[in-house]
Amino acid sequence: MTVGIERLAVYVPAYALPLAALARARGVPPEKMTQGLGVEEMAIAPPCEDVVTMAASAGARLLRAAHVDPETIGMLLVATETGVDNAKPVAIFVHELLGVGRRCRVYELKHACYAGTAALMTAADWVRAGGGRPRRALVIAADIARYALGSPGEPTQGAGAVAMLVGPEPRALVLGEETGTYADNVYDFWRPIGRREALVDGKYSVECYLAALAGAFTAFRGAERPALRSDEALGDRLARMLYHSPFPKMAMKAHRRLVELDWRATERWAAVEPRLEEAAAASYRELVAPGLAAVARVGNTYTASLYLCLASLLETEGRALAGRRLGLFSYGSGCCAELFTGTVPADVAAVADAGVGEALARRTLIDVPEYERLTRDGEAGGEPPPGFSGEFVLHGIRDDRREYGRLRAALAA
């Protein structure tokens, strides 16, 4: 049974902080952040916005664009590592805000940045299990990446949400059935209960990411069908390769490792090894770089990162990629990873507009003092600021209960 992503929609906050300005404020050469990480700007959420409002805004835009009645959604999954309650799921708030029917399976998924892929795979299996009966799931990955002011992780913040309609008529991406997975209990990134900002062992986290990539890739390569010839690399079968990208340079490191692993598994390794760096750089420019433009201007979106890359790629290159195969790698600290593939349908151009370009074009750039004020205020709720592009707001928190409201849809159009 054919299953995949029928359409995507993206939401990012209306504020963004240029990393060059942050670097100067922290006494760091700007190129250490902009070139060292590959990030130009990071999205900043105002106090009236949280993971619920972002997820709901992305979901509402998707349902309108796809002309889908919320009552027909049978499963609603929200993946996030910045949940708002230790018991009550983000998904049930979103369920109410979007007007999804009561006959719906609703829950939140958490496994650091891998949760978006966990939700996608769960939804795809649920659609397949319908036995031909029409089933559609709404999957939303949404997060606000936060690190303490002045900390080493501060330049890798960001915020955003990607909503995906998963069903039997995929026009954005047809999911392949083979995947490669890997899991290991590591402390590379974590956020203890009671902390708003995450803790991270940066160097170790990169090592864990690359180890998980090796494990997932090796598993996938062995499961590839039809089987690879002894002289054939998996990369030869892919038009693009997308990675979980907390920052673009992480995708560059990951692809360098993948290219080496891929060619080592072939009988051509002896010929490739002397020019590995050149081959890896060329492969990165062709397969990976085209999908990183949005990440460079939004920053880290945790569970949504991989799917922001996908949405951006389809929006800019969807027509040219029609009929071709993409590779996708998802990593979540802690850790779990999965490598899978998908084919871009012939009619992708009809659904390629996920709102990425429009969202980036209408943002307001802020300075460091404003960023620090917004960060310290946190999710206090209140009235939306001028230029606010969301469709939902957090009014406030009363008696430990979060109160949300919907603005006119026209404000988000």
Active site residues: 81, 113, 244
Angstrom distance (rounded) from CA 166 to CA 135: 9
Q: What is the three-class DSSP state of 35?
A: helix
Element (H, E) at 93: helix 90-98
Q: What is the three-class DSSP state of 327?
A: strand
Closest among 253, 263, 329, 264 to 38, alpha carbons compared: 253
**Are the CB atoms for 62 and 138 separated by under 8 Å?**
yes
**Are the CB atoms for 258 and 217 separated by under 8 Å?**
yes
Pairing assessment for the beta strands 15-18 and 364-365 based on DSSP bridges: parallel
Angstrom distance (rounded) from CA 40 to CA 34: 6
User: What's phi and psi for 82, nearest 5 deg?
Assistant: -120, 55
Angstrom distance (rounded) from CA 66 to CA 120: 18
Closest among 375, 365, 374, 302 to 149, alpha carbons compared: 375
Amino acid at 148: A
Amino acid at 194: G
Tokens of 89: 């799921």
